């Protein structure tokens, strides 16, 4: 079923709506009657932090078995009214995405690989037994919110409009089965750096008590439940004075998997890179995939192979391990300086940002912000 057909009953945008500067034919526009004033918005964009400043509007689309995907709208961002028996509140049938819109040098705005997020959203939906949103509709929805809210992209170093598409099971029913109704939404948040102070290098707590995902589980899906399960380990990391938690595999408790919200790479003294393979227990990061390609474009060797924490520690001691970094939409590329575990901490090289890490980070940022060539066609101009 194409989304055009499934949206047959969505009202078209009203050209007389006044505020719909960027109206889209797919999304009806109901403007926020009380948008934040331009001077107040400017004040919020000076130092937005991460995930606390929200824009005036959101996208919503509903699904029911009878109507398919329907009622696509851009509306004022506001609380949802939900039945207390809505399935998501009981069984956590929920998925989300994280992506950014970047300001281009000419004042326009672009998304980075939005079709990759759309594909991952579909596979997350399939894993969580949810009805997948058509991928073109996903991409249209993020384009529409960026067009509507482009004034919210902060013009600060590292600033972007972070987009959070998500979908929840909205059927009112307490039986345990896949929901027959869904609500999809996209909210947008003006963001700066994820780590406070831009973090020159972060410290990881290696979780030896808790794991994130087991074989056959939901590790490769971007579902809220994975993050709920990670919070106790992240809280432990914070108590230990660390920025992020590093998870090991659930079977042998030995193989490095990923961080609570980022993938991980290692750089060795022979100039090669290594990152854990996608075996179903880690999130297939779009930043991870992009960096593998950018590194290979630079002539570097990248292995997608398991790396054991004991080997990592030994390699850090011997000097074979030269650099490590975390990567993701929120974190971009963040050097890892120190790893801490129950029986002690160890630094990676001098504990600062390494040369390969800095080079890859700059290459990615330049591409995302439209100041470097885009040989892979990853940047999608929206405005």
Contact positions vs ligand PLP (CB under 6 A)? 98, 258, 261-263, 283, 285-288, 328-329
Closest residue by Cα to residue 164 from 280, 287, 49, 329? 329
- Give which of ligand COI, ligand PLP, none residue 360 binds (C-beta under 5 to 8 Å, depending on kind): none
Which listed option, ligand COI, ligand PLP, none, makes contact with residue 171 (CB within 5 to 8 Å by class)?
none
Residue 26's binding partner among ligand PLP, ligand COI, none (Cβ under 5 to 8 angstroms by kind) is: none
Task: Rule CB under 6 A: choose which of 329, 338, 357, 368 binds ligand COI.
Answer: 329
Q: In the complex, what is the shortest distance from the CB of residue 62 to ligand PLP, in angstroms, rounded to a whole number? A: 25
From the list ligand PLP, ligand COI, none, which binds 77 (C-beta under 5 to 8 Å, kind-based)? none
Q: Nearest approach, Cβ of 112 to ligand COI (angstroms)?
A: 11
Q: How far is the CB of 257 from ligand PLP (least distance, A)?
A: 9
Any idea what DSSP says for residue 174?
-
With contact defined as beta carbons under 8 Å apart, do 301 and 273 qualify? yes
What is the separation, in whole angstroms, between the first and last Cα of the chain? Answer: 29
Nearer to ligand COI, 259 or 339 (CB): 259
- What is the footprint of ligand COI within residues 238-277 (CB under 6 A)? 261
Closer to ligand COI at the Cβ: 159 or 328? 328
Strands 160-169, 99-103: pairing is antiparallel
According to DSSP, residue 314 is labeled: H
What is the Cα–Cα distance from 368 to 362, expressed in whole angstroms?
10
For the beta carbon of residue 43, count every other beta carbon within 10 angstroms.
Answer: 11
Question: Which range binds ligand COI by CB under 6 A, 68-76, 105-113, 326-334, 360-368?
Answer: 326-334
Do strands 263-268 and 181-191 pair parallel, antiparallel, or not at all (unpaired)?
unpaired
60 touching ligand COI, by CB under 6 A: no
Tokens for 212? 């994130």
Output the CA torsion sign for 119, 230, 170, 329: negative
Binding mask 81-100 for ligand COI (x = CB under 6 A): -----------------x--
Cβ nearer to ligand COI, comparing 96 with 173: 96
Quote the DSSP letter at residue 37. Answer: P
Q: Could you tell me which of 240, 236, 283 has the C-alpha nearest to residue 259?
A: 283
- Residue number with CB closer to ligand PLP (53 or 286): 286
> Residue 207 binds which entry of ligand COI, ligand PLP, none, with Cβ cut-offs from 5 to 8 Å by kind?
none
Interacting residues of 143 by C-beta distance below 8 A, sequence separation 6+ = 24, 111, 114, 380, 382
Query: Nearest to residue 249, comparing CAs of 221, 223, 216?
Result: 216
- What are the E-state strand segments in 146-191? 160-169, 181-191
Shortest CB 249 distance to ligand COI, Å: 20
Would you count residue 330 as binding ligand COI (CB under 6 A)?
yes
CB 118 within 8 A of CB 165: no
Selection from ligand PLP, ligand COI, none that 30 binds (CB < 5 to 8 A by kind) is none
Instruction: Report, in Å, the least distance between residue 276 CB and ligand PLP.
Output: 11
**Binding footprint of ligand COI on the chain (CB under 6 A):** 98, 261, 328-330
């Amino acid at each position: 079923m194409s989304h055009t057909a499934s949206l047959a009953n969505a009202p078209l945008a009203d050209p007389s709506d006044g505020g719909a500067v960027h109206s889209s034919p797919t999304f009806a526009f109901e403007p926020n009657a009380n948008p934040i004033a331009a001077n107040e918005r400017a004040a919020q964009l000076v130092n937005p932090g991460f995930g606390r400043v929200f824009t005036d509007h959101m996208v919503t689309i509903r699904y029911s078995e009878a109507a398919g995907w329907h009622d696509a709208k851009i509306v004022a961002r506001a609380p949802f009214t939900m039945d207390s028996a809505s399935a998501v509140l009981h069984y956590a049938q929920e998925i989300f995405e994280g992506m950014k819109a970047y300001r281009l040098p000419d004042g326009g705005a672009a998304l980075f690989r939005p079709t990759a997020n759309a594909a991952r959203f579909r596979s997350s939906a399939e894993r969580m037994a949810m009805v997948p949103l058509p991928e073109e509709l996903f991409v249209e929805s993020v384009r529409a919110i960026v067009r509507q809210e482009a004034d919210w992209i902060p013009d600060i170093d590292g600033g972007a409009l972070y987009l959070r598409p998500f979908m929840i099971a909205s059927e009112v029913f307490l039986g345990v089965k896949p929901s027959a109704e869904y609500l999809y939404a996209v909210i947008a948040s003006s963001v700066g750096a994820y780590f406070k102070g831009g973090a020159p290098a972060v410290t990881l707590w290696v979780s030896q008590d808790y794991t994130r995902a087991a074989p056959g589980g939901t590790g490769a899906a971007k579902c809220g439940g994975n993050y709920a399960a990670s919070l106790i380990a992240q809280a432990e990391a914070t108590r230990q004075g660390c920025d992020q938690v590093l998870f090991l595999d659930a079977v042998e408790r030995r193989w490095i998997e990923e961080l609570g919200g980022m993938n991980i790479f290692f750089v060795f003294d022979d100039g090669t890179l290594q990152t854990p393979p996608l075996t179903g227990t880690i999130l297939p990061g779009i930043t991870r995939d992009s960096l593998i390609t950018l590194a290979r474009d630079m002539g570097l060797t990248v292995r997608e192979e398991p790396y054991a924490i004991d080997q990592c520690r030994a390699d850090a001691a011997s000097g074979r391990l030269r650099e490590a970094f975390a990567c993701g939409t929120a974190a971009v590329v963040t050097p890892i300086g120190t790893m801490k575990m129950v029986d002690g901490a160890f630094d990676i090289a001098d504990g600062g940002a390494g040369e390969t890490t800095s080079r890859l980070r700059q290459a990615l940022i330049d591409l995302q912000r439209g100041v470097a060539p885009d040989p892979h066609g990853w940047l999608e101009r929206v405005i």
